[in-house]
Amino acid sequence: MGPLILAIDQGTTGTNVALYDQDCRLRAIVKTEFRQIFPQPGWVEHDLDDIWASVEASIRGALERAGARGDEVRAIGITNQRETTALWERQGGRPLHHAIVWQCRRTAPQCQALKEAGHEALFRERTGLVLDAYFSGTKLAWLLEHVPQARRRAERGELAFGTIDTYLVHRLTAGQAHVTDVSNASRTLLMNLETLAWDDELLRLLRVPREVLPAIRPSSEVYGTTRGLGVLPDGIPICGLAGDQQAALFGQACFDPGQVKCTYGTGAFVLMNTGRRLVRSTQGLLTTVGWKVGDEVVYALEGSVFIAGAAVQWLRDGLGVIRSSADVEALAASVPSSDGVVFVPALVGLGAPRWNPDARGTIVGLTRGTTAAHLARATLEGIAFQVRDVVVAMRQDLGAPLGFLRVDGGASQNDLLVQFQSDLLEVEIHRPRITETTSLGAALLAGLAAGVWRDREDIRRRWAIEKTFRPAMAPEVCRAHLARWEAAVAKA
């Protein structure tokens, strides 16, 4: 079988563990879900012990499914839900509180207070992020303020903060390593994008002591080795770390500036590689770190679409239009067009580049002839319109045309959606052979550090496209679609 790379993809609702071989082929993947904790409206938490149990179960399952032994694993890579925040004891690893999940809004009042105090521009300039409860910094500040003795213990160096990558490295190495990588650190509101170091002024504003923070490291190097685990032998290097969307960008082999990927999940995440250039967005996008390999730092622009696959779930669960999400493509394809129906899926507001939290889902163009099929087609088109808006904003920020778009995630298997996306953007879209690109990215970063692959060109030769979609829509038809979309968004 040759050397195997084990990738832990620790997500919001479950943990995927995948095994890849040297030819970038997926040998096995197993997902284990865990409970979601909602202490009160707007609050979301995870039990770190639940997360760890899901990691162990998925590792066991993946090895069993691949017919492999633990000693065949050459390296371990980790990718993770990025902003979810944890605090634990350095000695023994006992969590002080449930992890606060990226979705949790409990620190929105603190963010508003910082804005009113005039600090929003500083955070934006230093971190490339908006001052929002989404990110980790205010979540950590909340834990230090509300968990008894936490601040005092943190200042004495007794506690460790981390995003989930940091926590998993701690568990895998029996507490020997307290690290994060630049991509995850760039999502905390605490790291300076230019220096790639924790920023003293931001730490002061959020009252975060340096003693609690992990070391910021590159995305591909040996951070430590496995120790004292029941599911894997000692001595396997953990040597790849990246936040989930950055890992997907790497897993799509988007190694060159200007290359873009879109992950279609519950929402949609669009990332553009901007190379060594730190692009300050004027179009409502986030600036973030893609990865650091060796001495080379790659930056990225990011745009988030809040509702993508969730719109299809709404058709299924809210309206009962379809029995399963997989049914939407056949229903949408049963009509030649949406017949003028436009659905703006702003069910929780609009994300990048419009950033309108007060926008609401809007359907326009209904007639007596409108059917469930027209609504299904308009739903898929609404997803593609939102992604198109983000990509156009990226083009404007970068000042360069888009060569192609690479897609992954569950909805990337929907040919009708991807073809319409190609038509709107007027570029080729590449769907890779392996659409589990998040875990693949973690595996590639780990494999580079472990010597499984020589360099990125070696990876590029093994990376494969499964299908290419090319623009086929007449320009005047495309313009009419876009005009209807803009009019509908104005009403949302």
pLDDT tens for residues 376-431?
999 999 999 999 999 999 998 888 788 899 999 888 999 999 999 999 999 999 99
The predicted model gives 122-140 an average pLDDT of 92
Please give the Cα distance from 458 to 452 (Å, whole number).
Answer: 10
Please give the Cα distance from 268 to 176 (Å, whole number).
Answer: 36
The pLDDT-based confidence of 1 (bands split at 50, 70, 90) is low
Residue in the block written with tokens 């394809």: 333
181: which strand partners?
Answer: 217
Strand order in the sheet with 45-46: 45-46, 99-100, 85-89, 159-163
pLDDT tens for residues 219-231?
999 999 999 998 9
Instruction: Decide if 124 contacts 131 (C-beta within 8 A).
Output: yes
Model pLDDT, residue 305: 87
Residue 356 pLDDT greater than 70, yes or no: yes
Query: How is 358-379 classified by DSSP, letter by letter?
Result: T---EEE---TT--HHHHHHHH
The pLDDT-based confidence of 354 (bands split at 50, 70, 90) is confident
Model pLDDT, residue 350: 82
Tell me what the pLDDT averaged over the chain comes to: 93
pLDDT tens for residues 167-191?
999 999 999 999 999 999 999 999 9
Instruction: Decide if 75 contacts 2 (C-beta within 8 A).
Output: no
Tokens linked to 415: 């040919």
The pLDDT-based confidence of 69 (bands split at 50, 70, 90) is very high
Model pLDDT, residue 402: 83
Tokens linked to 365: 């163009």
Residue 343 pLDDT greater than 80, yes or no: yes
| Strands 286-293, 268-275: pairing kind | unpaired
Domains located in the chain, CATH noted: 4-235 (3.30.420.40), 253-492 (3.30.420.40)
SS3 217: strand
Spatial neighbors of 318 by CB under 8 A, at least 6 apart, are none
The predicted model gives 458-469 an average pLDDT of 92
Model pLDDT, residue 409: 87
Percent of the chain with pLDDT over 70: 100
pLDDT tens for residues 309-327?
888 988 998 889 899 888 8
Residue 166 pLDDT greater than 70, yes or no: yes
Read off the pTM: 0.91
Residue 262 pLDDT greater than 90, yes or no: yes
The predicted model gives 360-389 an average pLDDT of 94
